[in-house]
Amino acid sequence: MSADQSKASSSASSSPQEPPQPPAVAHYPPAAYGGHYPPPGPYPPPFYAYPVPDPSHHDPNNPNGAPSQSVAPFFMAVPPPPPGMVYAYPVPPTAPGYPFAPGMPAPQPPPKPKRKQVKMACTNCASACKRCDEARPCERCIKYGLAETCVDGVRKERKKGIKRGPYKRKNRATSGEGSAEGGEATNEQPAAVPPPPAGYPMPPEGYSFPYVYPPPMGYVPAAPDGQPHPEGANGAPPAMHHPFYPSYPAMYPTPYGYPGGPMPYPPLIPTPIAASPNGTAKPDSASAPPTANGASVSADAGKGKKRSRAKNGEESGRASKKTKEAAQVDVQQQPPNGDSGVAGVDQLEKDQHPPPQPQQPPPPSYAGHVDPSTGSGPVAAFGGPEPRPLMAAM
DNA sequence: TCGGTCGGACTTTAAACGAT
DNA sequence: TCGTTTAAAGTCCGACCGAG
Ligand SMILES: [Zn+2]
Ligand SMILES: [Zn+2]
ipTM of the complex: 0.89
Please tell me whether any atom of strand B lies within 7 Å of the Cβ of A121.
no
In the predicted model, is pLDDT for residue A140 greater than 50?
yes
pLDDT in tens, A311-353: 333 333 333 343 333 333 333 333 333 333 333 333 333 333 3
pLDDT in tens, A243-273: 333 333 333 333 333 333 333 333 333 333 3
Task: For residue A383, report the distance from its CA to the centre of ligand 1, in Å.
Answer: 14
* Residues 310-329 of A, Cβ under 7 A from nucleic strand B: 310-313, 316-321
Max Cα–Cα distance, chain A, nearest Å: 76
A117 CA, C10 C1': Å apart = 9
Chain B bases near protein Cβ (<7 Å):
2-19
Least distant ligand from the CA of A141: 2
**What residue ranges define each of the domains in chain A, with the CATH number in brackets?**
117-153 (4.10.240)
- List, as own/partner pairs, every contact residues A91-97 make where C-beta atoms lie below 8 angstroms and the sequence separation is at least 24, other chains included: A91/A209, A91/A210, A92/A191, A92/A208, A92/A209, A92/A210, A95/A208, A95/A209, A95/A210, A96/A265, A97/A73, A97/A209, A97/A265, A97/A266
Query: Which residues are CB-contacts of A17 (< 8 A; sequence separation ≥ 6)?
Result: none
Please tell me whether any atom of strand B lies within 7 Å of the Cβ of A16.
yes
3-class state of residue A382 by DSSP:
coil
Ordered alpha helix ranges (H), A117-246: 123-128, 139-144
Q: Give A104's pLDDT tier (boundaries 50, 70, 90).
A: low
3-class state of residue A391 by DSSP:
helix
pLDDT at A113: 74
